[in-house]
Amino acid sequence: MQFRQIECFLAVAEELHFSRAAKRLHLSQPPLSKHIRQLEQELGVQLFIRNRRSVVQTEAGRIYQEKVRNVLYQLEEAKLAAQRAQAGQTGELKIGFLSALFYDFIPPLLMRFRRRFPDVQVTLLEMVAAKQFEAVSDGKVDVAFPGLPPDKPGLEISSRILRKDKWYACFHSEHPLAQQEKVWLEEVRRESFVFIQRAVSPALDDALLEMFRQVNYTPRVAQTASRAQSLLSLIAAGVGISIFPGAVSALPSAGLVFRPLKDKLAPYEHSIIWNGSNTSPVLAEFLKEPALQGVG
């Protein structure tokens, strides 16, 4: 069965006149009649009753026309769906993220992207930084926001620095240093600290340790936690203070204050990572978002 036969059948079924159907298809009548006969032979049914004066569609022809139209509609839908998928307009985007570092960044980013591509299903998966690198490499997520970029990215991991953040000290609002506009690291030397667990973000832990090495002392760690929100609760309870990238200050933090550090410190770099071998059109469109173009 050929598509041309289907096309001829539908033209005759709609015109109920062989000459008009042939003219519509830019055919002479004999080839048209031949296509109809071949189709009837393949189907084993009579589609039309013909005589010199009229063409009447049989019940088999009427049912066949109805079913064929449905199939053609589905084929057109499939074609459009494939074209939209290739253009990145449909599909799924899985995103790994560390909520504390992107609390103020991801919501507006996704709102803009969803306006552009409302039919793309976006799935957010909160995971520690180390797991994000694994998930991107293994294809479990398309893109991730681990905070700092990888020190030694694998061949399959691509990264882009999105923004550079200053460091802030976080105090209970009644802490003496909370009254200052800015603080030096030297001023918090005798404080007890609460830090994020190293397993959550080894790169962040390394950045903090390097920061304290610059002022020649090792911080006294009172407690660690797996989530930034838990650290904020510990600070509010007076367990200790902490040092965060400025993005953390966007988290709900009643009773706390964030004060920028005066020291000349390397900024904290927020990054996006993805698998360079991932050919997803949806990912390609997501990476075109203005907010993801990176900084120098």
CATH code at 235?
A: 3.40.190.10
Between CA 62 and CA 25 the distance in angstroms is 20
Same domain, 130 and 158: yes
pLDDT at 81: 67
Q: Which domain holds residue 33?
A: 3-86
Angstrom CA distances, 145 to 45, 109, 126, 171, 197, stand at 62, 12, 10, 27, 18
Domain end residue (candidates: 86, 101, 120): 86
- Residue 207 in tokens: 């950045």
Between CA 143 and CA 94 the distance in angstroms is 7
Domain count for the chain: 3
For each of the chain's 296 residues, which pLDDT tens digit applies?
688 888 898 899 988 888 899 999 899 989 989 999 998 999 999 999 988 788 999 999 999 998 888 888 777 777 776 776 676 666 899 999 987 777 788 889 999 999 989 989 999 999 988 889 999 999 999 999 988 777 655 557 899 999 999 999 999 999 999 999 999 999 998 999 999 999 888 888 999 999 999 888 899 999 999 888 899 999 999 999 999 999 888 887 889 999 999 999 989 998 999 999 999 999 999 999 999 998 75
Residue type, 219: P
Instruction: Tell me how many degrees the CA angle 207-198-223 measures, rounded to the nearest 5.
Output: 105
pLDDT at 51: 83
- Residue 47 in tokens: 């589609």
Which residues share a beta bridge with 62? none
Same domain, 186 and 246: yes
Same domain, 261 and 174: yes
Same domain, 110 and 79: no
Same domain, 95 and 72: no
Same domain, 154 and 282: yes
**Buried/exposed code over 42-77 (b: 16+ C-beta within 10 A; e: otherwise):** eeeeebbeeeeeebebeeebeebbeeeeeeeeeeee
Residue 68's φ and ψ, nearest 5 degrees, are -65, -40
Between CA 149 and CA 107 the distance in angstroms is 21
Between CA 143 and CA 157 the distance in angstroms is 10
Same domain, 102 and 225: no
Cβ 221 vs Cβ 193: under 8 Å: yes
Same domain, 158 and 107: yes
Same domain, 185 and 256: yes
Helix (H, G, I), strand (E, B) or coil at 259: strand
- Residue 193 in tokens: 């600290």
Same domain, 28 and 142: no
Domain end residue (candidates: 51, 86, 121): 86
β-strand 55-57 against 91-97: which pairing, if any? unpaired
Domain end residue (candidates: 86, 104, 127): 86
Same domain, 152 and 280: yes
Same domain, 28 and 149: no
